[in-house]
Chain A
């Protein structure tokens, strides 16, 4: 079953596969369905990454990265104009802190992002992607692919281990409808 779906994706969306295969998480994560992702995060947006800026935190003990986003759709929560989310890790000079399994965002790319406030090392109450690779859906054409594709997620309470949409991803409109539906419950 999964092999055949994978073959379909290979034939139809080679560029999308290449994108999703290039980055994968490795931190130990329990699978989060769209219902949990939606209810567990306060802000959900479809947004393009404008730029990123990495820096040492105030204590000079951890590298953080501010990601400037330009939302095109607010699916949950409130946002006006460009917004900043902060991720752990990044590169400053010749030093890189790499969060294995962290969200992998590139300027110019468009994503659906699940955002919440959390305390990061040396930076309290920052808007961040708490669910790491599971909180990022990369938009390719009219589809959205979870960045956790290929990750060995621990099963959720329903025994599911595949990311929402699986290897084929989700139709973007379907993803948006599902998020709004879960958000309104």
Chain B
């Protein structure tokens, strides 16, 4: 199987730059649009003002977990991922907060947890270095994303190819709905072009920032919740959700007796059901939801579950796929 050495790539990039089209224009950035039902889904490229819209979050906070298997356990990986997140968090006036939550055993699955992992598989082998999957609801609303790095490649955190931070910054851009830019200049290329090898690829350019601000201005997040993560702290229970053939199971542990309220919201933030509102004892609890509400059955899709106890709140994304 074809595999380039890091030295070959570095040399080849230098060669390739001279041949690229030297153009630069405003708003060259492009967004990802769900091409829709009826064809396989890879996402088309559209400008910010496309009448059909593009994929976007409805929340301003997006939490990420790292599966530390394989090269995910390398020293410096967490810091590299956090730096890549920070580069997007610093874009203003957009106010997205992409945060590192902690480690997880989850994989490249639709499970409500945004996961970064290193694996040989997940559709990313051979010449693929990293792959990003977006889970969408209602056409263009992002409810979860996962990134899988090809563990067969050699990954570094010191700027040498392949640099985790540089490529993570590029892939996180995709998870925020940004496609590849049409800017093709020889230097200071946007992160959302191909200049994501080595140290220079770590830095966002104005075209990258404009793209995120475009999304923010068009789809300004109305609800501030942490989506797609298992959240919690030392005293707060964690909440996880997993689809089952009849609906979804929501699981949470309680360290001691507590009052528990478990609510479900749709992606627009509207309350759809209260599954639990009671005192519960310590231990592991699991609540099944088949989509039933006081108004009848809801459609299959993505919902947000919020668990509230006296110690605080936590949330998780629920996939209803019966």
Query: Chain A: residues with CB nearer than 8 A to chain B?
Result: 1-3, 21-32, 36, 40, 52, 56, 59-63, 65, 67, 87-107, 118-122, 128, 130-134, 150-161
Residues of A within 8 Å of B37, CB to CB, are 91, 96
| Nearest CB on A from B221, distance (A) | 20
Contact partner of A62 (CB less than 8 A), chosen from B11, B110, B127, is: B110
Q: Are B130 and A27 touching (Cβ within 8 A)? A: yes
| Nearest CB on A from B83, distance (A) | 18
Q: Which of B136-144, B209-217, B279-287 contacts A (4 or more CB under 8 A)?
A: B136-144
Q: A62-B109, A96-B34, A156-B2 in contact; A56/B321 too (CB < 8 A)?
A: yes
Contact partner of A98 (CB less than 8 A), chosen from B20, B108, B123, B133, is: B133
Question: For the side of the interface on B, what is the size category?
Answer: 35 or more
B179 at the interface (CB under 8 A from A): yes
Residues of A within 8 Å of B130, CB to CB, are 27-28
Q: Which of A24, A40, A87, A100: most chain B Cβ within 10 A? A: A100
Q: A27-B131, A97-B110 in contact; A131/B126 too (CB < 8 A)?
A: yes
Tell me the dominant secondary structure on chain B's binding face: loop
Q: Are B128 and A29 touching (Cβ within 8 A)? A: yes
Q: Are A98 and B124 touching (Cβ within 8 A)? A: no
Q: Are B35 and A104 touching (Cβ within 8 A)? A: yes
Q: Are A98 and B45 touching (Cβ within 8 A)? A: no
Residues of B within 8 Å of A161, CB to CB, are 16, 19-20, 194
Compute how far the CA of A167 lies from the CA of B194 in the bound complex, rounded to whole angstroms: 18
As a 0/1 sequence over residues 276 to 302 of chain B, the CB contacts with chain A under 8 angstroms (1 = contact) are 000000000000000000000001111
Q: A26-B43, A91-B41, A94-B300 in contact; A154/B9 too (CB < 8 A)?
A: yes
Contact partner of B15 (CB less than 8 A), chosen from A29, A40, A60, A159, is: A159
B167 at the interface (CB under 8 A from A): yes
As a 0/1 sequence over residues 9 to 31 of chain B, the CB contacts with chain A under 8 angstroms (1 = contact) are 10111011001110100000000
B243 at the interface (CB under 8 A from A): yes
Residues of B within 8 Å of A40, CB to CB, are 1-2, 126
Given A52-B40, A156-B12, output 16 extra A-B contacts at Cβ < 8 Å: A2-B21, A28-B171, A40-B1, A60-B244, A61-B110, A89-B40, A90-B40, A97-B41, A97-B133, A101-B131, A102-B41, A102-B123, A122-B109, A130-B125, A133-B42, A156-B4
Residues B263-321 near A (CB distance < 8 A): 299-302, 319, 321
CB nearest to B131 among chain A residues:
A27
Residues of A within 8 Å of B12, CB to CB, are 154-159
Residues of B within 8 Å of A106, CB to CB, are 38-40
Q: Are B321 and A24 touching (Cβ within 8 A)? A: no
Q: Are B41 and A132 touching (Cβ within 8 A)? A: no
Residues of A within 8 Å of B15, CB to CB, are 155, 159
Compute how far the CA of A153 lies from the CA of B130 in the bound complex, rounded to whole angstroms: 12
Q: Are A98 and B41 touching (Cβ within 8 A)? A: yes
Chain A to chain B: the 4 pairs with minimum beta-carbon distance, closest first: A152-B194, A155-B12, A30-B127, A61-B109
Q: A99-B131, A130-B126 in contact; A93/B16 too (CB < 8 A)?
A: no
CB nearest to A27 among chain B residues:
B131
Q: Are A29 and B133 touching (Cβ within 8 A)? A: no
Q: Are A154 and B197 touching (Cβ within 8 A)? A: yes
As a 0/1 sequence over residues 163 to 204 of chain B, the CB contacts with chain A under 8 angstroms (1 = contact) are 000010011001000011010000000000110110000000
Residues of B within 8 Å of A153, CB to CB, are 194
B135 at the interface (CB under 8 A from A): yes
Q: Would you mind naming 25 contact pairs between A and B with Cβ atoms under 8 Å apart?
A: A2-B20, A22-B35, A24-B179, A24-B180, A26-B180, A30-B2, A30-B129, A40-B126, A56-B321, A62-B108, A65-B40, A88-B133, A94-B299, A94-B302, A95-B301, A98-B133, A100-B179, A134-B127, A150-B45, A154-B13, A154-B197, A155-B4, A158-B12, A159-B16, A161-B16
